[in-house]
Each structure stands twice: as structure tokens, then as C-alpha cells.
Structure 1
Amino acid sequence: MEVVGDGDGHTRTGTVWTATAHAVAAVIGSGVLALPWSVAQMGWIFGPLALVSFALVTYYTGILLSDCYRSPDPITGRRNYTYMGVVRACLGKKNVLVCGISQYTMLWGTIIGYTITAATSMMSVKRSNCFHEKGHDAKCGTSGNLFMLIFGGIEIVLSQFPSLEKVTLLSVMASAMSMTYSFIALYLCIVKFASHNDVRGSLTGVKMGTQGISPSTKVWHSFQALGNIAFAYTYAVLLVEIQDTLKSPPPENKVMKKVTLYGLGITTMFYVSLGCVGYAAFGNDAPGNILTGFNEPFWLVDIANLAVLVHLIGAYQVYSQPIFTAYEKWLASKWPSTGFLHNVYTLRAIHFQFTLSKLLLRTLFVIVTTVVAMMLPFFNAVLGFLGSIAFWPLTVYLPISMYMSQAKIKRGSRKWVLLQSLSMISLLVSIISAVGSVADIIERLKHARLFSVTF
């Protein structure tokens, strides 16, 4: 049954099950591929503990955020359609700026990470086929520059779609592909573990010393692993948009709390399974992108990597279209009569309409993003940095602050102290994971040649 909410013209038909599907599809992404490596940096004690801890924090703040969808009352108040809309309603313009900087930095950074991952997947396909044809002792190194340029060229074309609504089919395909490669990765790890039937790894993870890495590198990688796990639990920025699809009654906040439980519960079980089984299979040698650890069966590895590629082609647009919308809206308001921004041209042969600003600025955006990705081809370090800068402000600080403002939590009360303590601990985790990721990027840049992406 179609339900139109609050006379706002929005048709909402969502249920707890459709919203749970959205939540699972939105959370499970390319970050899942780094989880075995992340567990390897911390070992059997702190690795699984970190996976579960991030899930619990994300779940708790998601529960708080679901009560802020309507304001000032969580059941009868006015709807807020976006995460930034909730921040504006509950905290005012100052915090909207904090939210905007964090959100759009994460969006652009994620796009850079997607470009790197797409090239890695294409290189992996070429390498696995080379090994299959010439044997596993063959030299099958390959460069990723060409693949990054090809991926960037595809995104230049797709970026000309006028809005996110026009790439819905692409988003559906992307979600299906993310589930495909995630399950294939889990299956391959199970098969590898079964082949040697020996639980590898150690209680404290990657070793230090003469046969391991230096103490400082061990620390930085452990911190970076926290950022990778935080990136894998990117949920808060999508929660409000998912909640806005729910029909009412029952009240959206009550339904969304169930959605958060089911969605994060399913995601966490899968994350812990892949992270731990992958670590048990590879031990301390777990690769940064788990799919790069397999060459056989080559056809299944190829399917997984091609699924990653298709997913990232669509996900790139899901993350870039909000950026396009934001700066194009700002430019249009700044120069309301400039032809460069507003004159619409039509290519009748292919029924394509465009403005010069969209054609040139969106193309320039993709080019700059591709160039930055070619300069920083570090999958784990980039994911760790993105997770660290987004986790505290978007997943913890803003949801807690909005909840306390709307629920009128008394300053100095027991609940206020507990919530502030959670926020401060999360801030500390974000800082140390950011430091670890930046340290790793700097260290890798010392030994890397710019625009030389090899595998």
C-alpha cells in the first residue's frame, strides 16, 4: 500500500524488511575486503573485539539517530529528509558546517578509494588469467595506470547523468554485485582454511622483530586497521535517507530501531565471519585486499573481481552525485543569470541535454579524482584514513549531540556523562587511526614512484 507522508508529496512504501535490505546493501561494500588484513594487524584477541565493538557503537548511535528523524518530537514532529537536515533541525547551522565538511570529505575520499580498488580488481583479473595460462611461476606483474584511466573514462560518461535518481538501476546492480563478491571472498577463505585445516595467526597479530615488522610499523598498522573497520561500518550517514522510505504507522523511529538491529546484526555476523575466517586461512600474511590472495579457481576469482568493478562503477556515482548537486546548487545561487551554468544544450541524435558547467566541471572532477588516486594507490591506508575522519563526527558525535539536544538530556546527569564519555573515547580512536593511516601513507610515498601503480 502506498502511503504519502505529511502532505509533503513523498510516497513511502517501505517496511522493516525493505529497509533492512537497504541497510545491508548500503553497509556492505569494498571495505569488507580489508577486514582479514585488519584482524591480522591486531590478532585473535583485539581483532574480533574491534569488529564487535564498532558494531555495538554504530548500533547504539543508530538507535539514537533514529529518534531524530522527526523533530522536535520523535513520533509526531516534522520530518527531516536527509542527515544534514536532521543536523540543521537539532543543532543549528554551525554543526551543519561540521557535518558538511566531514560528509563531503568522506564522499570524495571514498571515490578516490573506489578508483584504486577498481584498478586493483582489473589488475587481479589480468594476473590470475596470466597465472592460469603460463603457470604460477610465471612473471605476471601488471600496471594499474591504464586501468585507472579506463575507469575514469567510464565515470566521465556516467557523471553526465543529471541526478542520482537517473542512476537507480546502476545502484541496484551495484548492491547485488557487492553481495556477490563478498560471499565469494568468504567462500574462498573457507576453502583455503579447509585445505590446510590449521588455524593460523596469533593472539597479538603480525609479529615484530627480525622476522617481522618494526615496532613503529606494528603500531601504525594496528591504528590503521581500526580506521579500516570504522570505514566498513559506514551506516549513520545513510540511516536518515533509509528511514525516510518507511511508511507510517507504525512510527518510523520504532521500525528503524528494528531495521538497525537486523541490518547491523546481519552485517556484523558476515564481517566477523570473513575477518576471522580470512585470518585463520592466511594468518599474519593476510593481503590488504583479500581477493588478491587468490589465483584459483581463476574463473571464480575473475567473477568476484568483475563484481567488484561493476559495484564500484555504480557506487562511484552514488557517492559523487551528491557532491555534484551541492556545488552546482551553490554556483547556481551565486550566479543566477550566467549562461555557462544555466543554458541547456541538446544533442538530438542521442536525446542528451547538458549545460556547459556540468559537462566541463563534472569531467574535471573525475579527472582530478583519477589523478589523485594514481598518486596514492594505497588501498588500506586510504580506507583507514577515510574511516578515521568519518567515524567520530558522523557516527558518534553528531548523533549523540542531536539526541541529547532533542531529548533535553541534563548537563552533568549520569546519562550525559556516559554519552560524552562514549564520544570522547570514539574521538581518541578516530585520532589514533588517522595518525596510523597518515603515517603509513607517508612511509609508502617514500618508496613509491608517482603514477606507477603496479601489482
Structure 2
Amino acid sequence: MVSISPPQPKEAPYSEKSGENRRVREAKWWYSTFHTVTAMIGAGVLSLPYAMAYLGWGPGTLVMAFSWCITLNTMRQLIQLHECVPGVRFDRYYDLGRHAFGQRLGKWIVLPQQLIVQVGCNVVYLVTGGKCLKKFMEIACNNCTPIKQSYWIAIFGSIHFFLSQMPDINSISGVSLAAAIMSLSYSTIAWVGSLSRGRVPNVSYEYKKTSNADYMFRVFNALGQITTAFAGHAVVLEIQSTIPSAPEKPSSIPMWRGAVWAYFVNAICYFPVALVGYWAFGQDVEDNVLVALEKPAWLIAAANLMVFVHVIGSYQIYAMPFFEVVEKTVVARFKVTHGLGLRLFVRSTYVALTSFVAVTFPFFGDLLGLFGGFGFASTTYILPCVIWLKIKKPRRFSLSWTFNWGCIFFGVFIMFTSTIGGVRNVVVDSSTYDFYS
């Protein structure tokens, strides 16, 4: 008797005539852990105590816990929807969107917002990497000739001309693992250093003194800082696509296991930094808690170097899905061969363009607050719930239906507050900025 193995789930087609090769799926569950950690945790964790200073103990802690729970659930929903059609895998966020909303509408609903997150994060990582490398060198070499920040950003960008030539997310697993370890390391330095230093004299936990209008904008900004710190959903399906799947063991099982561990790492990074940093410095905390620590200098230098290593991996995690989309679009539309030449051209051009934007607008973090309010809030809080309601169709007023609609309204609120705060910050920062300084 001949045994017939069950068919393996196939990938949702990129296009009718894409001609793409089937992707390699060899990742283990722990790959998804450090890929998700690298995508989610950023240097923004160091600004969480500053956000707490505008929200206070109760509201700040509540918003953090609420965001952690909501985003864990929306990530679970995306993981479950990856293979919501038997025998088909939606390996890209917008593939799932096209299934939910239709081929044409789904692409335009999801893809622009996903690209805002991916490209925007890459520019911010370039700025962050350049700044941290500059800070490290200033501490490590007091007698060295100062170099403009724009040069440091360019140096950081040059690294990605080489790393971006790696084929896919699987091939940068080592870089991603190092980045995840670094994120845990500098977060630990931040909260352990704050705890060791103890509370500053006359520490105050009252709300910061400022005008009513300024305080409102800063509260909006603080809400955006905390809620968008749990982003990473824009690439979760692309990460899951690297995991093998079979009818008896779908990819959602190892992916969810990895995601839970990633959120555990997220919790032990975010909550201690936010709470201990605010406990130590109160309303006088700096927007980067490492700056408030001041010494020992070698530890601050090491932490900046760790952030530098981390954002190297983060850049690649967000860039790889973008490379895949662009390259396969070029192959399908212009009938060119998907080889080394195309990879060199597409990826080098992307790195050059994002580096140019980062050098030109190093206050791009404010621009990301302006545009990212749409991308981050939508891809993390809104779209997963809307797609879940569209595909799963839970009974009206059931727990699932109510919870998802609550998440949608919360996401819309965050979208508007982040955008308002971003507009204000762009106006303030751009008026005092000296280009290419």
C-alpha cells in the first residue's frame, strides 16, 4: 500500500505571472523570537521614563500594560490569519489584506501603511545608529577631532550596502540574534543603572510644569511614544513565512510560541526601564534615560554601542520584506532575471535613498510621529482587528467582536493624537535645525 503525504500549504500568489521561486522555509520557533524582538524593541525604550513624566504613575503604567495586552492579541490574530484558508499561506501583510478586502482594494489599504512603517523605521534607525556611534566615539576618544553627525549617519548607512545583499530574512538570523541580545543588554543597563544610582535629591512625581497647550501636545507625544513602542506587526507575517508548515503542525504553533517569548523579552525591557527610570529621576528625567545616568562613562559608551548594533539588525528586518516586494514587482513587470545584478541595484538604491533622507532630516523621528501615526497605529491596532472581523465574522456583541471594535477605536485615537503631536514637533524642530550639521 502506498502512503500519500498530505499536501503542504502553498503561498498566496504574488501576482498572476510573478514567476517567483518558492521561498525557503527552514526557520525554527526561536528565530521568530529574536526577529520579533529586533523588529519591536528599539532605542525608543530609553525614552519611556520621559513619557511617564507626562502621564504619571497611574495613567502611564495603565497605557503601557493596556498596549502590551492589545498588541499581543493583535499579533496572535495575524499569526492565526496567516493560514486562515486551508492550503494557502499569506506570507505578506498585503496578501492578507487582498484576501480580506479584495485584490485591488486590499493592496491599497494595507501596502501604503506597511511601507510607511518599514521605510520610516529604516530612516529613523539610520539617524539613531549615526547618533549612537557619534556618542560612543565622543566618550571613547575625548581627543579625537569631532565629526559632523551627518557623516556618522553616512558611515552607519554604508554598513547596509553590504548587509542588504543577503538574500532574505533567514540569512540575517545571526545579525538579528545579536541585535535582540543588544536590546536586552542596553535596556538592562538603563534600569539597573537607574536603580543603582537611586532617586535624585528632592525627586518629584508631579506633572511637568508647562503651559496647558504645550502640556497637551506633550501628552499626545507621550501616548504615541508608548503605544507605538509595541510595533512590529508590519513584518510579523513575513517573519512567519520563514517557518515550515504542515497540516499536522501549522506554522502558527511555533510562531505563536516565539511571539510569546518575544513579548516576555519586551516586558522585561520596557516595564523596568519605564518604571525604574521614572522612579529614579521623576519629572526631571531626560528624554534619553542614559543621558541622565551620566556615569560611569564606559558604561554609557557601551550602551550606545549596543544600541548601534541593535539598529543594524532592526534596519535589515524591516528592509528585507521591502526588497522582496520591489524585486518581484520589477521581475514581473519588466521581465528581468532575478539575480545578483537586480539585487545590487534595488537594494543599493534603497540604502542610498534612505541614507540621504536620514542625513538631510535627522529630526525624522518627528516626521515619523506625523506619518507613522497612520502606519504604526493602523498596522498594529486597527488593521489586524478589521481583517479579523472581516474574515472570521464573530457574532455581534460577542467578546471577540466587542474587544476588536474597542481596539479599533483605541487605534484611531492613537492615530490622531500621534499625528497632532508629530505636526507640532516638526514645526518646532525644523525651525531651529541647521541642515547637514
Interval of TM-score (by shorter of Structure 1 and Structure 2): 0.7 to 0.9
Is contact 2:331-2:338 (8 Å) kept? no
Amino acid at match of 1:120: K
Residues 42 and 141 of structure 1, relative CA distance in 2, 3 Å threshold = farther
Is contact 1:201-1:280 (8 Å) kept? no
Match of 1:285? 284
Match of 1:351? none
Which segments of 5 or more consecutive residues in structure 2 lack a partner in the other structure?
11-21
Amino acid at match of 1:185: A
Residues 150 and 255 of structure 1, relative CA distance in 2, 3 Å threshold = closer
* C-alpha RMSD over aligned residues: 3.3
1:68 aligns with 2:81: yes
Is contact 1:20-1:263 (8 Å) kept? yes
1:431 aligns with 2:416: yes
Shift of 1:230: 2.5
**Counterpart selection for 1:239 from 217, 236, 239:** 236
- Residues 164-313 of structure 1 correspond to what in structure 2 (within 5 A)? 164-193=169-198, 196=200, 200-204=203-207, 206-208=208-210, 214-244=211-241, 245=243, 249=248, 252-253=251-252, 259-313=258-312
Match of 1:14? 28
Write the distance in 2 (CA, Å) between the matches of 1:251 and 1:364.
Answer: 37
**Counterpart selection for 1:444 from 429, 432, 436:** 429
Write the distance in 1 (CA, Å) between the matches of 2:238 and 2:347.
Answer: 24
1:128 aligns with 2:139: yes
TM-score, structure 1 length as denominator?
A: 0.80
Shift of 1:108: 0.7
- Residues 76-95 of structure 1 correspond to what in structure 2 (within 5 A)? 78-93=88-103, 94-95=105-106
Residues 4 and 432 of structure 1, relative CA distance in 2, 3 Å threshold = farther
C-alpha offsets along residues 2-57 of structure 1, whole Å, 9 cap, x if unaligned?
x9982658655735x66545544442222212212221222223222221111121
Match of 2:158? 153
Amino acid at match of 1:35: L
**Counterpart selection for 1:32 from 45, 68, 76:** 45
C-alpha offsets along residues 377-411 of structure 1, whole Å, 9 cap, x if unaligned?
23753564465223332122221122223322246
Is contact 1:324-1:362 (8 Å) kept? yes
Residues 122 and 404 of structure 1, relative CA distance in 2, 3 Å threshold = same
Write the distance in 2 (CA, Å) between the matches of 1:102 and 1:286.
Answer: 33
Which segments of 5 or more consecutive residues in structure 1 lack a partner in the other structure?
135-139, 209-213, 345-353
DSSP 3-state at the match of 1:306: helix
Write the distance in 1 (CA, Å) between the matches of 2:338 and 2:264.
Answer: 49
Write the distance in 2 (CA, Å) between the matches of 1:202 and 1:442.
Answer: 29
Amino acid at match of 2:156: F
Match of 1:58? 71
Write the distance in 2 (CA, Å) between the matches of 1:426 and 1:32.
Answer: 20
Identical pairs, percent? 27
Is contact 1:193-1:199 (8 Å) kept? no
Match of 2:360? 375
Residues matched between the structures, number:
418
Residues 425 and 176 of structure 1, relative CA distance in 2, 3 Å threshold = closer
TM-score, structure 2 length as denominator?
A: 0.83
Write the distance in 2 (CA, Å) between the matches of 1:256 and 1:166.
Answer: 18
Is contact 2:381-2:408 (8 Å) kept? yes
Match of 1:348? none
Residues 387 and 31 of structure 1, relative CA distance in 2, 3 Å threshold = farther
Is contact 1:375-1:451 (8 Å) kept? yes
Residues 35 and 384 of structure 1, relative CA distance in 2, 3 Å threshold = farther
1:404 aligns with 2:407: no
Match of 1:102? 113
Residues 422 and 160 of structure 1, relative CA distance in 2, 3 Å threshold = closer
Shift of 1:112: 1.0
Shift of 1:77: 5.4
Amino acid at match of 1:273: P
Is contact 1:43-1:201 (8 Å) kept? no
Shift of 1:101: 0.7
Shift of 1:423: 0.6
Write the distance in 1 (CA, Å) between the matches of 2:345 and 2:78.
Answer: 38
Residues 313 and 4 of structure 1, relative CA distance in 2, 3 Å threshold = farther
Write the distance in 2 (CA, Å) between the matches of 1:304 and 1:4.
Answer: 50
Is contact 2:150-2:359 (8 Å) kept? yes
DSSP 3-state at the match of 2:431: helix
Write the distance in 1 (CA, Å) between the matches of 2:73 and 2:319.
Answer: 28
Write the distance in 1 (CA, Å) between the matches of 2:423 and 2:356.
Answer: 19
Is contact 1:5-1:247 (8 Å) kept? no
Write the distance in 1 (CA, Å) between the matches of 2:403 and 2:26.
Answer: 36
Shift of 1:114: 0.6
Write the distance in 1 (CA, Å) between the matches of 2:155 and 2:25.
Answer: 39
Match of 1:113? 124
Residues 290 and 4 of structure 1, relative CA distance in 2, 3 Å threshold = farther
Write the distance in 2 (CA, Å) between the matches of 1:30 and 1:441.
Answer: 20
Is contact 1:382-1:437 (8 Å) kept? yes
DSSP 3-state at the match of 2:198: helix
Match of 1:144? 149
Write the distance in 1 (CA, Å) between the matches of 2:61 and 2:52.
Answer: 7
Shift of 1:164: 3.9
Shift of 1:269: 4.0
Is contact 2:31-2:258 (8 Å) kept? no
Shift of 1:263: 3.4
Is contact 1:128-1:295 (8 Å) kept? no
